[in-house]
Amino acid sequence: MSNILQLILAFIYVLVVPGFAVSLAAFPRFNELEITERLALSIGLSLTIVITFGLVIGYVPFLVAATGGITAYSLFFGIGLITVFFLVIWLLRRANLAVIDRRETARPERKMVLDARTAKPVRPQDTTQAAARPERETVLDARTAKPVRPQDTTQAAARPREAAPSGAKQRRPPQT
């Protein structure tokens, strides 16, 4: 009976725990993935981690000399270190998300919309004011090539021509 319990715990430790820690580090909010998605991701990541760790610990001469190669103890402690590493990353990311969530709840939500005429972002209460304001376009004056507003063009046409500078001869229109 004890051997069966050890075997079940070993399978869970090897096939679920490291991948679950990596999935928590990658997706720190519990509601980001459903439990079945997280479990499937955990099993796949655990297999990848254990196989990679086994290859590294079995073929790197320094690690073979330090751990004695691939043994049950080296795998147990190596998987444990990897799991703790990713759980620390998860805790740091959760703390960061908690700070971000607090900032978002403390600040009222500001929705912005685009004004249809100007394509500039405005707040929703400003859209009625923007619609009430007439749009001011600038056009080029034909004589001076300076930008003027459309209401100024009628005034410019109604204005008399400037007088010639003093000392210059004024032309008189030919008399017929």
Give the range of the structural domain holding residue 46, as residue numbers without chain letter. 2-106
Contacting residues for 64 by C-beta, under 8 A, at least 6 apart: 57, 58
Do residues 64 and 74 lie in contact, with contact meaning Cβ atoms separated by under 8 Å? Answer: no
Helix (H) or strand (E) holding 48: helix 35-59
Same domain, 92 and 140: no
Which tokens in the block code for residue 121? Answer: 């972002």
pTM for this one?
Answer: 0.56
Is the pLDDT score of 160 beyond 70?
Answer: no
Q: Which pLDDT band, with edges at 50, 70 and 90, does 26 fall under? A: very high
Pair type for strands 147-148 and 139-140: antiparallel
User: Nearest-CA neighbor of 27 among 99, 90, 101?
Assistant: 90
Same domain, 63 and 78: yes
Pair type for strands 113-114 and 139-140: unpaired
Give the number of domains in the chain.
Answer: 2
Please give the average per-residue pLDDT across 68-84, as a whole number.
91
Lowest mean pLDDT among 74-78, 108-112, 128-132, 161-165: 128-132
Same domain, 26 and 81: yes
Is 137 part of any domain?
A: yes
